[in-house]
Structure 1
Amino acid sequence: MSDTDEFRVDPHVKVLDEQVCRRARNAGLDAIVYAPHFTRLPEIRARAEAYSSPELRVIPAREIFTGSWQDRKHVLAIGLSDPIPDFISLEAAMAELDRQGAAVLAPHPEFATVSLTEADLREHRDVVDTVEVFNPKHLPTHNHRARTLAEDLDRPPFASSYAHLPDSVGVAYTAFEEPLEDEADLVAALADGVARRAVYRNGFRRWRTTAAELAHLCWENSWQKIDRLFLQGIEPTHPDHIAYDGKFDDAAVY
């Protein structure tokens, strides 16, 4: 635990190695949530366990890409008991998350073309447990809009580094007012609306992180990346992958 009674967690990190863990510990975090793109749940769990330590817990999660590439909506889930693929309908994903009792987080709402909209959040309000109100990839207008959505929908807030780069870890996190021990405790805290603070920096490091992460976003959405994802074979999280045994065939959008 950190020096205070708070439990400090970065609920959305895309990268994981020794450098990431070191930065998280130096930032006073108790845990990070590891949710890489296009990676199946068993692999995420194994990697998270390998990097967990008594000083820093690494909690596995999935950011599910619902819908098509042109109209995708990201949903972050912690506490999954069964794998869920990408590229299924939002409705099917929300129904499966509800069935599994996972904690459902709305990352970067209404950001770019990859996020839940206000209409989506209202429609699935009973399933969504918490709404992100800050990450350093956002500009101030995006964060203000996200906070307004969380308040209007009466959903508890969270902040994350949304780190696609190791240097981003520690710029933002969520601090719960009670100690949490493991993944199950975090899922319960998110689902039950346990009191928490969205903590973030606004100085030079925040803006340096914003610039670096936005540059990474441009690379990530380049045609080169799209070619790698969609023209060179089936992704491990595609609903047609053998790992899903046809369970999501009716919900697949590709």
Structure 2
Amino acid sequence: MGRFRLDAHVKILDKRVVERAKARGLDGIVYAPHFTRLADARARAERFSDEDLIIIPGREVFTGDWRNRKHVLAVGLSEPVPDFITLEGALAEFERQGAAVLAPHPEFATVSLESHDIRAHRDRIHALEVYNPKYLKTHTERSVELAAEFELPSFGSSYAHLRGTVGEVWTEFDRSLGAATAVVDALREGASRSVRRRDGLEHRLRCGAEFTHLCYENSWGKIDRLFLSGTEPTHPDHIAYGGRFADVSVY
């Protein structure tokens, strides 16, 4: 029986990431960088994909404003979707495009879907993340509880912002998936899978490094975004979106 090992959420992609993914035995990764338009993520994914590693572009959309943002990961989009739109607006657009909708790091920090969000939109969500290296034990336990409560399939990812974390966690399907479209279908259909991760001292050190990076992102990194960077390329007012999302923009 074939298997397919997917790191379902990676933020970085270059030659070293590809080499590490292959060394870790991965068959595919979902590449979903922050504040990057779909066309750019797709072009980079195509550049680094080959017969040994399928790279699927995704969008972790920041719904809501900076004070009340909830991240939702869409895989298999055919058209661009901006950040800073309402949760309902984002989910409606994902549904229209037939994307796989994943709930990353639920109830984690202040950037995630809460239980009431999952309850309200359960039929539009295809899987819920139960582990990534930024999780503490309590986060893992709570995510597992939520997946069971709402009877949603699970997934796991490295959520890698650092190259060395790629492949620390993966979602393993019990069948071969030979193309990006097959991966999207498997996520949407709730195909049988298990969440697996590495263990030991190296894994704990990788977790620590990712958690430290998270602290940076939510301090100086956030200040840079808010005050230094200007309008993001994924802002709904950007010319790339042609005003399509004006009615659901939060800014």
TM-score, normalised with respect to structure 1: 0.96
Could you tell me how far 1:170 is from its partner in structure 2?
A: 1.1
Q: Does 1:174 align with 2:171?
A: yes
Counterparts of residues 35-114 of structure 1 (less than 5 Å): 35-114=32-111
Residue by residue, what CA displacement relative to the aligned partner does 1:53-102 show, whole Å, maximum 9, x if unpaired? 11111110000000011110000000001100000000110111111110
Residue by residue, what CA displacement relative to the aligned partner does 1:223-243 show, whole Å, maximum 9, x if unpaired? 454334554321100001000
Give unmatched runs, 5+ long, in structure 1. Answer: none
Counterparts of residues 211-250 of structure 1 (less than 5 Å): 211-250=208-247
Residue by residue, what CA displacement relative to the aligned partner does 1:121-167 show, whole Å, maximum 9, x if unpaired? 11110010000011011001101100110011000111100000000
Q: Distance in 1 between matches of 2:202 and 2:148?
A: 27
Q: What amino acid is the match of 1:198? A: V
Q: Distance in 2 between matches of 1:232 and 1:97?
A: 27
Q: What amino acid is the match of 1:66? A: T
Q: Distance in 1 between matches of 2:221 and 2:174?
A: 44
Partner of residue 197, structure 1: 194
Partner of residue 119, structure 1: 116
Instruction: Name the CA shift for 1:72/1:53 in 2 (closer, same or farther; >3 Å).
Output: same
List 4+ stretches of structure 1 deviating above 4 A: none
Q: SS of the counterpart of 1:126?
A: helix
Q: Is the 8 A contact 1:229 1:235 kept in 2?
A: no
Partner of residue 14, structure 1: 11
Q: Does 1:32 align with 2:29?
A: yes
Q: What amino acid is the match of 1:48? A: A
State the Cα RMSD in Å: 1.2
Q: SS of the counterpart of 1:149?
A: helix
Q: Is the 8 A contact 1:171 1:205 kept in 2?
A: no
Q: Does 1:140 align with 2:137?
A: yes
Q: Distance in 2 between matches of 1:175 and 1:223?
A: 35
Q: What amino acid is the match of 1:94? A: L
Could you tell me how far 1:40 is from its partner in structure 2?
A: 0.0
Q: What amino acid is the match of 2:130? A: V
Q: Distance in 2 between matches of 1:135 and 1:223?
A: 23
